[in-house]
Chain A
Amino acid sequence: MSAPLLRVRELTKHFPIGKRGMFSDQRKILRAVDGVSFDLERGQTLGVVGESGCGKSTTARAIIGLHPATSGSVQLDGVELTSLSRSEWLPYRRRIQMIFQDPYASLDPRQTVSSILTEPLTIHKLAKPKERKLRAMALLDAVGLNPRHIDRYPHEFSGGQRQRIGIARALALEPELLLLDEPVSALDVSIQAQIVNLLGELQERFNLAYLFIAHDLAVVRHLCDEVCVMYLGRVVEQAPRDELFESPQHPYTKALLSAVPHPNPHIERTRERIVLTGDVPSPLDPPSGCTFHPRCAHASEVPDDRCARECPALVTSEGRSAACHLP
């Protein structure tokens, strides 16, 4: 079998926090991403879900090199990316593109759409200068915007339209992998549905692989083939979409799914609910053992206080994995 498009192994990203003195190092280590591994095949979508601070965005940023990884390996088509120099990175940037959450902050307000979309072509010396604008117009058409609006500025577009521009910019370089960091969270529901459908359509058309980061589990369920659940920098469960949503194994996944309100009053008012107590602990000072154990209703069922002492490994069986001491 050929190597997967993206292979991530034991990826970690630690941020030192605080001051380094002349004689002593008082810095604490924030373990934003702590040993994350997964594969992503061409044309597939892997969803990464979890609450704020669980490390999902940092994972994406470490993959594309915006935050250099502390350790671990990221391979695109078998090529190790973490050891590349700045100039060696350039051809790979073309193949991996990122789409950000906030369509207001991620477009330069002083560039026209034309210049936003042709800049990547110029940097990567793609297409003849004369053809670039035509390419840009074709991109606008592909994302459902009117190509005649190419000389407008971002402020002349609504949030949903701006997100389409961000998608067009990412597609300009004909990438194979898109890292989507909460691409629809800032949008209204009716617009969100349009963008979700557009992403599905583009994936089919260009055989794109998506790493789809989101906190909205319903959107993830809709778009993803496989889902990874993160908690405090680690993957606690990973499974194919239907298996994860129909029979979650990790207590955190169960609680997370149960916390999502259902937009049907009959289901919403009768379903059983697991309400977690407490907040997500600080990643600067994570709990011992399984980092979820202080909030876990089942921690007491495991003998010898094992959950508080020992961090469970991610165990894979039958195509899905979970990191939990519970049998």
Chain B
Amino acid sequence: MAKALDVRDLSVRFDTQHGNVQAVDHVSFSIEEGETLGLVGESGSGKSVSSLAIMGLVPSPPGVVEAGGIMLGDRDLNTFNAEALRRVRGKEVAMVFQDPMTSLNPLLTVGRQLTEVLEIHEGLSQAEAFKRAAHGLGDVGIPAPEERLNSYPHELSGGMRQRVMIAMALLCNPKVLIADEPTTALDVTIQAQILELMKGLQERHGTAILLITHDLGVVAGMSDRVNVMYAGRLVESASTAPLFDAPCHPYTIGLLGSVPDLTGPAGDDLYSIPGQPPDLAELPAGCAFAPRCSRAADACSEAVPATIEPTPGRLSACLEAEALAKEGGAG
């Protein structure tokens, strides 16, 4: 399969009064056509900043983006100027944000916001654009789409607004869809609807999806592969089932253990990772997770552990990765 998006050695730094904050630190990953890559991690782990960097949306200053390449097919988005990026954004790479309340313009009708995309990127006339937009709304399961085009965002519920955001992102059949916590602001029953919808649309259009979320349940259901980030670095990457079955990085192990679920024993203490995520302006030398890690040895705080491949297809940035892979295989 062809790679739809290939991010090579991406780093994002913010120069602030409190020092240089390394939000993303030498991260590489790629997504194939029709594939969903889950990106998980906690607040401040660099998930959203990575996606903003791909879209060329990191504000500069204070942001500084450095990359060996953000390849969309054979073109490097990192070399594009503002005008060239504008032509790509929304057409070839589209994004759905977390909060459908603030990411739609409250002063424009839904129809105006949708047709604008088509008029700019596809050069459609207003009448044609309205037809396509109505079709797009129908695709995401909005009843009476023609009428809805005349609605303002405040007239729609949260779930409907998120559907509009998804319809807008998919209007030009983008090759890559970046969904940044697309269901976090929604109730579970609406979340289930939106996730089904995204899966269906992906099957029809072969879109590559970068799904950013902190909800491991959502990742378990949606992703083909999962990348785990901690303090701006990629700490583990694997196909979904192996990652959940036998995680090979202590942070992934802790993260999976902290999640309560609806089956299994209830009422016992949850496993919890001690301590707090580090301050990105004052990262420890060596592994950023070492201060919270139960397996940490002296070597962990000396240098950032190299990323190795303990088992085929899996990457882990931990000195113990091979031992963990053996334990996971045995257990």
**Residues in A lying within 8 Å of B, measured CB to CB:** 51-52, 158-161, 188-194, 196-197, 200, 215, 217-219, 221-223, 241-242, 245, 255-269, 273, 275-277, 279-280
- In the complex, are the beta carbons of B261 and A218 less than 8 A apart? yes
- Of B19-27, B121-129, B186-194, B319-327, the one contacting chain A is B186-194
Residues of A within 8 A of B240 (CB): 265
Within 8 A of A (CB), among B245-269: 254-263, 266-267, 269
- Contacts A264-B261, A265-B240; is A193 near B215 (CB within 8 Å)? no
Does the CB pair A259–B261 fall under 8 Å?
no
Interface size class of B (residues with CB under 8 A): 35 or more
* Interchain CB contact under 8 A, B189 and A221: no
Choose among B187, B193, B244, B258 the residue that contacts A52 (Cβ–Cβ < 8 A): B187
Count: A-B pairs, CB below 8 Å = 135
Interchain CB contact under 8 A, A190 and B272: yes
In residues 168-222 of chain B, which contact A (Cβ within 8 Å)?
Answer: 187-193, 195-196, 214-221
A275 to B216, CA, bound (A): 19
A161 to B276, CA, bound (A): 9
Find the B residue at minimum CB distance from A295.
B189
- What 4 pairs across the A-B complex have the smallest Cβ distances? A261-B217, A193-B272, A193-B258, A188-B42
A262 to B192, CA, bound (A): 12
With both chains docked as a complex, state the minimum distance between the C-beta of B275 and any C-beta of chain A, in angstroms: 9
Contact of B188 with A262 in the complex, beta carbons under 8 Å = no
Contact B188 A259 (CB under 8 A): yes
Q: Decide if B138 is an interface residue (CB 8 Å cutoff).
A: no
Residue on B nearest A50 in the bound complex, by CB: B187
- Secondary structure type dominating chain A contacts: helix
Q: Report the Cα distance A263→B158, complex, angstroms.
A: 25
Which residue on A lies nearest to B187, using beta carbons? A51
Is B277 an interface residue, CB under 8 A from the partner?
A: yes
Choice from B187, B218, B260 contacting A215 with Cβ under 8 Å: B187
Complex interface: chain B residues within 8 A of A223 (CB): 267
Contacts A52-B158, A279-B159 aside, 16 further interface pairs with beta carbons under 8 A come to A161-B276, A188-B42, A188-B214, A188-B277, A190-B254, A190-B277, A192-B258, A194-B274, A215-B187, A256-B189, A259-B188, A261-B218, A263-B219, A263-B261, A269-B221, A275-B196
- In whole angstroms, what is the CA distance A296 to B89 when docked? 40
B161 to A: closest C-beta gap in Å: 11
Q: Does B160 contact A (CB under 8 A)?
A: yes
Are B266 and A276 within 8 A (Cβ)?
no
Cβ of B294 within 8 Å of any chain A Cβ, yes or no, is no
Instruction: Determine whether the beta carbon of A259 is less than 8 Å from that of B191.
Output: yes
Minimum C-beta distance from B215 to chain A (A):
7
Tell me the nearest residue of chain B to A261, going by C-beta: B217
CA A241 – CA B267 in complex, angstroms? 10
A264 to B42, CA, bound (A): 19
A255's nearest neighbour on chain B, judged by CB, is B189
Q: What's the least CB distance linking B33 to chain A, in Å? A: 21
Say whether B193 contacts A260, CB under 8 Å.
Answer: no
CA A52 to CA B184, docked complex, whole Å: 13
- Residues of chain B with a CB closer than 8 A to A222's CB: 260, 266-267, 270
List of B residues within 8 angstroms of A259 by Cβ: 188-189, 191-192
Chain A residue numbers with a CB within 8 Å of B256 are 263
Nearest neighbor of B197 in chain A, beta-carbon distance: A275
A-B contacts, 17 of them at CB < 8 A, read: A51-B189, A52-B158, A159-B43, A189-B259, A193-B258, A193-B270, A194-B272, A194-B273, A196-B270, A219-B260, A245-B262, A256-B189, A259-B189, A260-B188, A263-B259, A273-B192, A280-B187
Cα-based distance from A267 to B263 in the complex (angstroms): 10
Q: A275 contacts B217, CB within 8 Å?
A: no
